[in-house]
Structure 1
Amino acid sequence: MKLLRVGAPGRERPALLDEAGGLRDLSGLIDDLDAAFLAADGLARLARVRPDELPALDGVDLRIGPPLRPGKIVCIGLNYRDHAAETGAALPAEPVVFLKAPDTVVGPDDTVLVPRGSTRTDWEVELAVVIGRKARYLASAEEASECVAGYAISHDVSEREFQLDRGGQWDKGKSCETFNPLGPWLVTADEIPDPQDLGLRLWVNGRLRQDGTTKNMVFPVAEIVRYLSHFMVLYPGDVINTGTPAGVALGQPDPKPYLSAGDVVELEIDGLGRQRQTLAPA
């Protein structure tokens, strides 16, 4: 299934994308696509519903919002071999873990704001993993895979000066408002049989900047989930941003082509849809 939320910010309704590309209204069946829905085995219940029996969503505000509001966003840094190489970093022996504020999440086509004083706002296309059941001290990759509800596209926007040069932790350069467009869909895990065989691409102003594959991850999805479960409890609705391939502005020759107001970023992952954002000043 491809699940999404449509409508004005803060007033989104849950929906399903049918096989013909039409939107079907889920608001008569569920309150929202959220942690409570996932924890109550909502995906299994929806799988028994015939999309053609659901009302079509026509003539309403069809802005696509984020497919869910995560409880927390856990991020993995330097998780692609080519990205680590372009930034001059050694491959990590264990996953590099940091957190991103959940209120950074916006819709896949919403405006991204360049922070005041920023000169080094950067792009990062990432595979997002959505947790569907409580994960605590998992013993194996198989157990970890059973905790994955599905996948989405995440744009892990970053401000590199805030992240790397201003002291403290990476979170400062990751948690600026609008810095995590998510969606358009939550694609259930059954539709993505191998998350380690997905292409990721990102364009800035029409120029292809990132063209990678999840085959190049240092730590695969199941290992990330298993590993994190030994340091924190993962709950339904939590999101894991799993890292980005090579091609970010940070890894380019000087002068590095960081983002500025007016730039347009487009990104896609195989089977997970596409995003498009225009940048504006905060």
Structure 2
Amino acid sequence: MSYFTEENSADAVNARIGADTDPRLREVMTALVKHLHAFARDITLTQDEWDYAIGFLTRTGQMCSDERQEFILLSDVLGFSMLVDSINNRRPAGATENTVFGPFHVADAPIREMGANISLDGKGESCLFEGRVLDLDGNPIKGACIDVWSDNADGYYDVQQPGIQPKWNNRGRFFTGADGRYSFRGIKPVSYPIPDDGPVGQMLGHLGRHPFRPAHMHYLVIAPGFQKLVTHTFVGGDEYLTSDAVFGVKQSLIAPYERLEGADTVWRSPFDFVLVPG
């Protein structure tokens, strides 16, 4: 074992890993050390820059709580969350693509009848969401649970405004019948900023980036015998589609929003979900 030098720094650190270390942990940490040391050499990292980075990470950790996870936000805006999601959800052509889960899902939302209205605060432009849940061969899937949630017309989720929004506002679960169809009424979502009052928001400002996400409806689709689908549908034409702060947009997830005349809702957004066998 050689002494630590600038040239052999990563090898010197990795040589200290014990012989009985879990193989996967060894693989992960060895690669992490190699890339981290190569990064510092590549940019000739200064002591002041490293001190600032330590302070930034410290402030990020201090911002975390049971209600807010600033490190996940950091991962999101660096595109790392989407990269991990993409690596772990590779699907064949024709299947609906995954995207980031987001921090505002709430488990056990009320089970509602097909066609029910999930918008409880009366705000926003009403929209009918409908479509089918299908397998790769186009066959309908019976018994699929479609868990949906979105922001309200002011750009906030109900959990961000307890006591202001009704509980379970713009949330619900629906189960498909033999035809695989789903339908519910909500609102046409609006774009909104991610929390930008902490270190991550300050970083975005320094980088000349905005904190906005394009308007979207969240879907969690679960059916027996199929892979879980976590995805959004995005409002076509939204100004932030090509600059989503968390890189969650995929071309295949941009949904049509058709304006209706003389109907129960102002808008209609049709979208089919295609699941992969599990």
Q: Which has the higher contact order (CA 8 A, sep 6+)?
A: 1
Larger radius of gyration: 2
- TM-score normalised to structure 1 length: 0.25
| Larger relative strand fraction | 1
| Larger relative helix fraction | 2
